[in-house]
A and B are shown apart, each in its own frame.
Chain A
């Protein structure tokens, strides 16, 4: 699995406008809808499902990153995007630290293997100190996409 197989390039946000968790979730889902990656009429439902998932247990797994994700009947193809926050967002993270990088993943209900493979590639990279540092320094969409591309190429 590669980032390019599910990250919707046009939906990547180098500077998130929202400053709170639910706002960020809505902003990233909206970006996916604007990019045509999910139907616009699913927007509210998907955001609600993501918020519910966060309330059941934060996906802020520490080290300044959060990976909100949900499996949803109306999502037909796995899609994801990435948002970068300059100021940090309170995601109720496990380590109680603010979140600077949000990777959002929407999966169909019937493809658990693809979902696990995407989570594998996301966390394999987010675990690396250098990857997180470069990501925080990437202040344009192009720079973020270059970084993801380099990872995909194994560089």
Chain B
């Protein structure tokens, strides 16, 4: 699923597409969990949302991630840029796909 999308940059870019699984969507607590994890990486993190409210967010800003208002079923793309891009994308995508420990 994970591919490099930019062969020209010296810093690796990685992305992964996921679907929001938990019933309540990407509300404040999951957004906080996501941002906490994102901030553990050196890479820049971008989240694109293809739900009812299309948009993108800096994955390290909790306000921006909440603004995405991603409901259950929303398709999202997590993109990381930096030397730990692959690891960042894998862990962040897994967190989202796990439903943040919710139903």
B-binding residues in A (CB < 8 A): 56-57, 59, 61-63, 67, 69, 71, 94, 112-113, 115-117, 119-120, 123-124, 126-127
Contact = CB atoms under 8 A, between A and B. Distances in A.
Q: Looking at chain B, what size class is its interface with the partner chain?
A: 20 to 34
B25 A67 contact: no
A61 B27 contact: no
Contacts of A115: 24, 27
A120 B71 CA distance: 12
B69 A117 contact: yes
B62 A120 contact: no
B42 interface: no
B62 A61 contact: yes
Contacts of B72: 112
A113 B67 contact: no
Contact of A116 (B26, B29, B63): B26
